[in-house]
Amino acid sequence: MTPAAAQQAVPIDHPRLGAVASPEMINTFEDAILPEKSKAGARHSASAPTPRLLVKAWVNNVAYEKKVWVEVDLVGSSGKPLQSSKLPLGYAEAAGGSGDFFLVEAPVHPGSPARRGPVQLLEYRLYYEVGGQVFTDGVPHRHQLPAKTADKTAAKNGTAHVAQAKARRASPSRGR
């Protein structure tokens, strides 16, 4: 894509100032929330597994030097981000259509400092920087997180203590 064509693409209303929405430059080929990988010899934990975000993106190979990343928000029940992070995608393989595939597979760790409730949604945006210009596919990709992850987040954030206290009081073995 020529610089003139890139400027004709419509900028999106997004936190990343100056990013140009252009599916001709970058788009999501595959994405998913995956269960935690089991490790050989690892003991099963009573806590919920940590899910992983998988993103495979196609980028238009217009230059050798490029950066590809996702900006991830873990969103609570209020609809506001509780935690944000930036994950780089690494080169995976050549792809059709004069492009390359880039990939990230990373655990989604809800942070303990957030005390505004459990994480319910993962949202990410995809970016590609090449030749001094930042491109995006313009799509806020959203995934509901498994209920166990939300429960685990609540436990880490201290919001599950009320339910746990009620369960202890209702237990017939209390005080033994």
pLDDT digits (tens, 9 = 90+) for 119-154: 888 999 999 999 999 999 999 999 998 765 444 444
For CA atoms 72, 54, 151, 112, the dihedral sign is negative
Mean pLDDT confidence for 35-41 = 63
Per-residue confidence (pLDDT) for residue 155, from 0 to 100? 45
Q: For the chain, what is the mean pLDDT?
A: 75
How is domain 3-33+49-141 classified at the CATH fold level? Answer: Immunoglobulin-like (2.60.40)
**Hey, where are the domains in the chain?**
3-33+49-141
Specify the length of the chain in residues. Answer: 176
CB-facing half-sphere around the CA of 77: CA atoms within 13 A: 10
**Token pair of 128, please?**
């590609």
Per-residue confidence (pLDDT) for residue 38, from 0 to 100? 60
Give yes or no for a contact between 54 and 32, defined as CB atoms under 8 angstroms apart: yes
**How does DSSP assign 5-64, residue by residue?**
HHHHSPBPSSSSTT-EE-TTTEEEEEEEEEPPPPPTTPPPPSSPPPPEEEEEEEEE-S-S
pLDDT digits (tens, 9 = 90+) for 99-121: 999 999 999 876 654 455 688 88
Q: Which residue has the tokens 């050549």?
A: 94
Per-residue confidence (pLDDT) for residue 46, from 0 to 100? 52
Q: Tell me the CA distances in angstroms from 98 to 16, 26, 63, 93, one per residue in order.
A: 26, 12, 11, 12
